[in-house]
Amino acid sequence: MNRLNELFQHKKEPLLSIYFTAGYPDLNSTLDIAEAIEKAGADFMEIGFPYSDPLADGPVIQNSSQKALQNGMNLTILFKQLKELRKRVSIPVLLMGYVNPVLQYGVKNFCDSCAAVGVDGVIVPDLPMVEYEEFYKDYFIDNAISNIFLVTPQTSEERIRKIDNLSNGFIYLLSSSSTTGKNLTVSNEADAYFSRIREMNLKNPTMIGFGISDQKSFNKAAEYTRGAIVGSAFVKFLDTENALQRIPEFINSIRP
């Protein structure tokens, strides 16, 4: 059981995860931001590794990825930075990004590197489920790395059941099929979607991401799932003055 599993098993209050892009705003800011996120009270975090063509991301995260790449960030540098991760951070940490850099790095090497630095899970939205199951699953299992799958409002029940059977962490519910950075839609349609997932009684916990930007949207997500993931709003916040010192202020605006 890794840190992520222990968190979901033992903490009953709504969980808050924070996403940020490695190498943004500065190449060497990754661990400083990660440490500040934990000290501010987040339950776990997702560190994005940048990619040149982040199709699912809105302009805020696209911009942060482009800036991180310009700063020189890549997976090799990120894993070098993360060698000091567990000296400074104790909460669960996931890596999130696109499959192309992972394939270039080597999937087995990627999983081995994650385990070596203390990463608990990964989110690679464009890694096909069939390829994961056929070629890569054992690399994740052998390293106790949770592979987190995404579900959209259009995902069929059959596919969701399949995802649930393959998962060993949580299932990431996209609040909509749009790109990141859109506000969580509080509507009858969204209510029906979240209720449908909840009534499936999945064995894995669920978290809502895309569009969580304030206390209202966080509380809405927590009505249906174990909590929510904040991404674009936090990345945007990092571009403000003295952001590193003010991270507790941001976290308190989401979950007092």
CA dist 41 and 199 (Å) reads 30
Active-site annotation holder among 46, 112, 133, 249:
46
CA dist 186 and 227 (Å) reads 16
CA dist 207 and 173 (Å) reads 6
Does the annotation mark 26 as catalytic? no
Per the structure block, which two tokens stand in for 144? 């106790």
Residue type, 240: T
Whether the Cβ atoms of residue 177 and residue 195 lie closer than 8 Å to each other: no
CA dist 176 and 192 (Å) reads 12
CA dist 48 and 231 (Å) reads 10
Active-site annotation holder among 57, 84, 191, 249:
57
Mapping DSSP to helix (H, G, I), strand (E, B) and coil, where does residue 42 land? coil
Q: What angle do CA 207, 41, 120 make, to 5 degrees?
A: 55
Least Cα distance to 95 among 82, 109, 80 occurs for 82
Does the annotation mark 57 as catalytic? yes
Whether the Cβ atoms of residue 120 and residue 17 lie closer than 8 Å to each other: no
Residues designated as active site:
46, 57
